[in-house]
Chain A
Amino acid sequence: NAGVTQTPKFQVLKTGQSMTLQCAQDMNHNSMYWYRQDPGMGLRLIYYSASEGTTDKGEVPNGYNVSRLNKREFSLRLESAAPSQTSVYFCASSEGGGDYEQYFGPGTRLTVT
């Protein structure tokens, strides 16, 4: 099992460009999440999908959109990148909500110039 995979690992964008971060899990999990990690800020939830076909906003959703393509895949889109979106992005999945363990991908380091 690969667990949670993310592509790309690194990306540099210019302000105003768009891109999609891809995430896939092979654990048959129902729930998937997108976080961003910034120095001194911990992890903040951007969007989550409690189950296939549903998505909800987290703590910091502005400037992002998501798609739960199927049970395995959950993508994060930046329509018009801004320097404030420079961050490390983590995708995670879990069997469900509550106290189920979340499994994290290796992260995507995004720089917006």
Chain B
Amino acid sequence: GNSVTQMEGPVTLSEEAFLTINCTYTATGYPSLFWYVQYPGEGLQLLLKATKADDKGSNKGFEATYRKETTSFHLEKGSVQVSDSAVYFCALIGNSGYSTLTFGKGTMLLVSP
């Protein structure tokens, strides 16, 4: 079956540091890949997505590239802000029939001033 593995957190950074959160996946076929973000006390919201190999998703300064050869979709940001403190979830959805999202366990990011 499908699965997503993320690096464990918390990841603690100072403001303006470079961020990488690793995500690898196992899936049959060609899944679509997502990063969702959950701010404290809120539901999840889509941050970015990529639907085919070598696609780069980007939003709010965050980027992730769909790497089929390494089955990875690592999240990066060049300069984090305190307001980026949240939990980040990597997820995938299969491309056969009606598929549902499979989430990783989430990585908490804490950014200090």
Contacts and interface: CB of A to CB of B under 8 A. Distances in A.
Interface of A: 4, 33, 40-45, 48, 50, 58, 90, 92, 97-99, 101-107
Given A99-B32, A99-B49, A99-B51, A45 B101 contact: yes
A58 B100 contact: yes
Contact of B89 (A42, A45, A48): A42
A107 B41 CA distance: 8
Nearest to B50: A99
A106 B98 contact: no
Interface of B: 32, 34, 41-46, 49, 51, 89, 93, 95, 97-101, 103-106
Q: Chain B at the A interface: mostly helix, strand, loop or mixed?
A: loop
Nearest to B105: A42
A90 B99 contact: no
Contact of A43 (B32, B41, B44): B44
Contacts, number: 53
Contacts of B41: 106
A109 to B, nearest CB: 10
Contacts of B99: 97-98
A12 B101 CA distance: 29
Contacts of A90: 43-44
Given A42-B104, A43-B89, A43-B103, A50 B98 contact: yes
B43 A4 contact: yes
Contacts of B45: 103-104
Nearest to A31: B98
Nearest to A88: B43
A104 B104 CA distance: 17
A33 B100 contact: yes
A98 B89 CA distance: 18
